[in-house]
Chains A and B, each alone.
Chain A
């Protein structure tokens, strides 16, 4: 019988500093996670935490981890050549086929850009399978901006709005992501989907704003972050009502997501 709790050692290929607090770890790995899936990473001396895949390529996956308190601190002592223990991928994924040949709007708040980065790259690499991509990425301030190169790159092919909560900086707009939703030309789309990923409050207000702009709930997709100690439906931490985020999520259609009462 397979031991579903057993992590395997993987080599860290490189560590890239994204911001003062965020680093991207590239880890050797042959499995091919779907867009939106996550792994359980072993944080040295602490334990495991669910981390979304923020990038992938032949023979590697990437994780962007934020340095917050002691829980993730241990991971920042790791460098290229060290071992990362991990298991996965887990969870469901964004229904990419359903997004194809339609318009797509992606709204992210802060580190919420990480779990949708592979999805956005998928359409960046295959512009022919998507009618148009709109991207609204909000950050607290200029120091918190993630994936700066990507944002520059995305501007070439997508309708990209990068915005800072309440400060100004070159190349950025100012204001919360919700304030930019009304600029999206929904009436000109024949069929579209919206992906919203970020802190719970941001997802809540973004969804509300979308609905106020006439977007049908069933077109909105969100991804939930919850505490998990197992990711396989045993530890109980991620359960909301009868739903286990690790099993049925982390990606939910908003029709379901709005019913989940923590």
Chain B
């Protein structure tokens, strides 16, 4: 197949899927569409995990509609119509919570329709000469059905006019600026409010497809346009080869504006008296960086300190503690840890609709130097958790035999490598001489350990997961030390502690300190009551938070576990979180199979 016909097929298939999804959201599913869907074949292994899961859910749902009947039972159509009304129109819900299918609702602060997003997409449609057809005339232009339909239209135009890249660019932009900007939150809501596996599956497919389509669009060019794209690549990332001495000189320059952190070796400070501790600390030289093994602690403590003074109380006034250092923060970190910070971002910047100032002011300063990860370590499973790759870095580094390969993605750092910022070195012999090379950082694509995430699709299954006997095993095994949370890159919970300076006045300060849901006091109220009383219950809570709850709340195919495996190595009782996830998945699958029989 040549590039041209591959391109044409791709556009056609994408158009079909966009139209199909659009029709599902446009109105209630009728018998004709349902019959048609029953006859469709869905891929059992799609390109993205949520796409696979969505297809499977939809297929399971369609399969359970009685095979023998030639016609779809009326009940099925009615059930789906009721669910449609509940999810998208908030019918029958007392508090009016629903997944309202309008971009404006998700992007306006007041969460109402016909806001800026509606204006923008209306103008966009007009700019390509589109007007609403009769079928969809009752919907506003930023309705999901119309936005998907618009993508279908753009695919159609790309197909019709394959030599023109404008349609492709429009697709990329529309996907980025509109659909992906709100649909992931929307589909998370659909998943929450839907009763039927049908709409839950559709939500998964929609989200999975949009994300996957972004990748497709990033990797394809109009056949005629390839030349131009190639030229574009040349002005992208620049890469250099340096010896450690050169790199150290650059670090010295960087240190004027950044504090630089990397995993370092602290001799004889490990969990056992004879072992070393590897944790993050400020470095002066790349020689200090431990890159041949994983750090015992995540880099979390740099942007979310173990203990942090927030407020000082002085003579009946509360005073905000200022930032300690105005410099930027540059961190050498692997993809799993860079993905970990996204989870903290969600909690500290997004959850509840307000950002936490102490986190935000540090986080804003953070830039990453992504350490290419060789082949992963014995305990990690980042590929299963989808955290093996990242785009969120300013520079990437490979520790080669003798030299360092550095790819500079953020242009703000170019001057350090081009020599502009190293002119102050007067000694000509030590002047930085980075050599331009071809280096694209590689990501881990397979780990020794692979994990299957538990399949929990509704509240009944969640209850089943919570009630499993095996949690009780941890009443004996787990001592509730919270060490797992301390080394974790995503554990975000904290306590506040007030300190007074002397007994005679109430002057003092309020600190925030890391907490852990594994501590036996974690749920204890001032009145002394506890809502989870056993290590087993705590383990259940932690596990479900890490591999289910967080994802349900924030969507985005993200989990609170990034699969770094640090907690497994840290646990003094040798409890493996990896084993717990596997065990949970197996137990649930076993029980679900039993129910089916």
Contacts and interface: CB of A to CB of B under 8 A. Distances in A.
A36 to B, nearest CB: 14
A83 B549 contact: no
A181 interface: no
Nearest to A261: B466
A200 interface: yes
A45 B506 CA distance: 7
Contacts of B524: 227
B526 A262 contact: no
B139 interface: no
Interface in A1-54: 1-9, 42-49
Interface string B447-460: 00000000000010
Contacts of A261: 462-463, 466
B527 A66 contact: yes
Interface stretch (B64-72, B102-110, B515-523): B515-523
B318 interface: yes
Contact of B531 (A6, A44, A95, A262): A262
A65 to B, nearest CB: 9
Interface string A106-119: 00000000000000
Contacts of B495: 47, 229, 235, 237
B531 A98 contact: no
Contacts of B233: none
A257 interface: no
Contacts of B357: 1-5
Contacts of B500: 44-45
Given A6-B318, A233-B351, A72 B526 contact: yes
Given A5-B310, A68-B526, A234-B347, A241 B462 contact: yes
A222 B523 CA distance: 19
Contacts of A199: 529
A2 B510 CA distance: 18
Interface string B536-557: 0100010011001110110000
Contacts of A72: 526
Nearest to A1: B357
| Most A CB within 10 A of own CB, among B347, B352, B532, B549 | B352
B418 interface: no
Nearest to B316: A83
A262 B358 CA distance: 29
Given A1-B360, A6-B311, A71 B355 contact: no
A234 B344 CA distance: 10
B216 interface: no
Contact of B498 (A1, A2, A47, A240): A47
Given A5-B310, A47-B496, A85-B313, A233 B506 contact: no
B257 interface: no
Nearest to B517: A236
A232 B352 CA distance: 6
B578 interface: no
Contacts of B496: 47-48, 229-230, 235
A208 B111 CA distance: 36
A241 B525 CA distance: 18
A49 B497 CA distance: 11
B530 to A, nearest CB: 9
| Most A CB within 10 A of own CB, among B317, B493, B515 | B493
Interface in A52-105: 66, 68-69, 71-72, 83, 85, 95, 98
Contacts of B354: 2, 4, 232-233
Interface string A225-262: 11101101111110111101011000001000001011
B323 interface: no
Contact of B552 (A44, A46, A240, A242): A242
B348 interface: yes
B94 interface: yes
B7 interface: no
Contacts of A233: 347, 351-352, 354
B553 A5 contact: no
A95 B94 contact: yes
A225 to B, nearest CB: 6
Given A241-B549, A244-B351, A253-B95, A236 B529 contact: no
B553 A237 contact: no
B402 to A, nearest CB: 46
| Most B CB within 10 A of own CB, among A6, A46, A218, A236 | A236
B473 interface: no
B544 to A, nearest CB: 7
B267 interface: no
A237 B352 contact: no
Contacts of A235: 493-496, 515
Contacts of B348: 234
A49 B147 CA distance: 46
A5 B356 contact: yes
A6 B312 CA distance: 10
B525 A225 contact: yes
Nearest to B545: A239
A3 B358 CA distance: 8
B531 A9 contact: no
A68 B526 CA distance: 7
A3 B320 contact: yes
B528 interface: yes
Given A47-B510, A85-B318, A200-B529, A242 B463 contact: no
A240 B354 CA distance: 20
Interface in B217-264: none
A229 B494 contact: yes
B185 interface: no
Contacts of A253: 94-95
A225 B525 CA distance: 8
Contacts of A244: 351-352
A9 B318 contact: yes
B284 interface: no
Contacts of A8: 318
Contact of B318 (A7, A43, A66, A262): A7
Contacts of A246: 352
B94 A68 contact: no
B187 to A, nearest CB: 15
Contacts of A240: 531
B522 A237 contact: yes
Nearest to A5: B310
Contacts of A230: 494, 496
Nearest to A68: B527
A234 B356 CA distance: 8
A5 B311 contact: yes
| Most B CB within 10 A of own CB, among A1, A5, A233 | A5
Contacts of A226: 523, 525, 531
B492 interface: yes
Contacts of A71: 526, 528
Interface string B544-578: 11001110110000000000000000000000000
17 contacts: A8-B318, A45-B500, A46-B498, A49-B525, A66-B527, A69-B528, A200-B531, A218-B94, A225-B527, A227-B524, A227-B526, A233-B352, A235-B496, A236-B517, A242-B548, A242-B552, A259-B459
Given A9-B317, A261-B463, 20 more contacts: A2-B354, A5-B356, A46-B498, A48-B496, A66-B527, A71-B528, A98-B94, A225-B525, A226-B525, A232-B354, A236-B515, A236-B517, A237-B523, A240-B531, A241-B552, A242-B548, A242-B550, A246-B352, A261-B462, A262-B532
Interface of B: 94-95, 310-311, 313, 316-318, 320, 347-348, 351-352, 354-358, 360, 459, 462-463, 466, 492-498, 500, 506, 508, 510, 515, 517, 522-529, 531-532, 537, 541, 544-545, 548-550, 552-553
Q: Which 7 A-B pairs have the closest CB atoms?
A: A233-B352, A236-B493, A71-B526, A233-B351, A262-B531, A242-B553, A242-B549
